[in-house]
Amino acid sequence: MAVARQERLTLEVVARRQLARDIVEFTLAPPDGGALEPFAPGAHITVETPSGAMRRYSLVNDGAAPGTYVIAIKREAASRGGSASMHDQATVGTRLAVEPPANDFPLVEAPGHLLIAGGIGITPILSMARWLHARGRRFGLIYLTRSPEEAAYLDECRTFPGAIIHHDGGRPERFYDFWPHFETPRPEHVYCCGPRPLMEEIKAVSGHWPEGRIHFEDFAPVEVVRPDDRPFTLVLARSGRELQVPADLSILETLRAAGLKPLSSCESGTCGTCRTRLLAGEADHRDLFLREEDRRDNIMICVSRARSEKLVVDL
């Protein structure tokens, strides 16, 4: 199955501001001041960061007739180049390649909405809260962080009627109890974005709710590098070139380090853009895209590795 490549935009960083500890907001605009494609709450853009890594970031501004795209990015402690390069190198005036908005987390019509955010997961949730509030819709907001200093858009979130802001300080005994919100199923729809433990908790307490009522946004990539990974040889069949893929780098990162620029988009093993023909060797498939019957002679080079000592790919 061929994957259509979206036409990329060139956008310029026209403003940036510190929102919280390790969280910076970036405002991106066309250099010529032209209009941008509209978007709905929950949408995201994919940005080619200064490091070359492709990363998805939720849009937080009004998408009806946007002149800019506004995103907020947390500098991840274990960053593989994406968030760190945005914080360090995406200064005002920097131009970035950006794919048009897409929405895998759309807000549906419902009698009510419960919005739950953890940490930087506030970004898509905030766009929904703003949209619902502007239209007088009924919704609840629960925003969880370790501390006020790590909470983006905190003052604005406090202005939403009935908003619950909870800081646990990283202490298990202070974790928020969601059971009262889920004990009795209601006709509202629930939207949750945040760290995986938060989403697992919501899945656990909402198991008795009707199917389709609970929605999740998860930008966390699959585990690209694992503690027991080993280096292997990658052979590029078209040139005969051999590259050593270290234990702590992906195939895609190794190709970039060698000066090559293979196609990629999500870099989390879900979109199919980097699908590459596998000509020889046994792959360690870590993607969420390929069907079982396609895995014998294809590999997603953004996340998958080798079980054998050598892989030969059609590059």
Per-residue pLDDT reduced to its tens digit, 164-221: 999 999 898 999 999 999 999 999 999 999 988 999 999 999 999 999 999 998 765 5
Burial 250-265, CB ≥16 within 10 A → b, else e: bbbbbbbeeeeeeebb
Q: Are 253 and 314 in contact (CB under 8 A)?
A: no
Distances (CA, A) of 129 to 35, 95, 114, 217: 24, 30, 10, 15
pLDDT at 146 (0 to 100): 95
Q: In DSSP terms, which residues pair with 281 in a beta bridge?
A: none
Tell whether the torsion through CA atoms of 86, 88, 90 and 91 is positive or negative: positive
Distances (CA, A) of 303 to 249, 269, 285: 10, 6, 8
Average pLDDT over residues 224-232: 89
AA letter at 136: G
Distance CA 273, CA 160 (A): 39
AA letter at 21: R
Q: Residue 249 carries which DSSP code?
A: S
Q: Whole-number mean pLDDT of the chain?
A: 93
* C-alpha torsion 249→251→254→258, nearest 10: 180
pLDDT 10s digits, 4-59: 455 889 999 999 999 999 999 999 999 998 889 999 999 999 999 998 888 899 99
Return the structure tokens found at 239: 């040139």
Question: Residue 79: which pLDDT band, with cuts at 50, 70 and 90?
Answer: low
Query: SS3 of 58, please?
Result: strand
> What separation, in Å, do the N-terminal and C-terminal C-alpha atoms of the chain show?
18
pLDDT at 221 (0 to 100): 56
Question: Residue 296: which pLDDT band, with cuts at 50, 70 and 90?
Answer: very high
pLDDT at 77 (0 to 100): 75
pLDDT 10s digits, 99-119: 999 999 999 999 999 999 999
Domains present along the chain, CATH in parentheses = 9-102 (2.40.30.10), 113-217 (3.40.50.80), 232-313 (3.10.20.30)
Total residue length of the chain: 315
Return the structure tokens found at 154: 């905190």
Question: Residue 76: which pLDDT band, with cuts at 50, 70 and 90?
Answer: confident
Helix extents (H) in the chain = 82-89, 122-134, 154-158, 179-182, 196-205, 251-257
Q: Are 245 and 305 in contact (CB under 8 A)?
A: yes
Q: How far is CA 92 from the centre of its chain?
A: 23
Return the structure tokens found at 176: 């928020």
Distance CA 273, CA 277 (A): 12
Among 168, 107, 162, which residue's Cα sits nearest to residue 139? 162
pLDDT at 1 (0 to 100): 37
Distance CA 124, CA 93 (A): 25
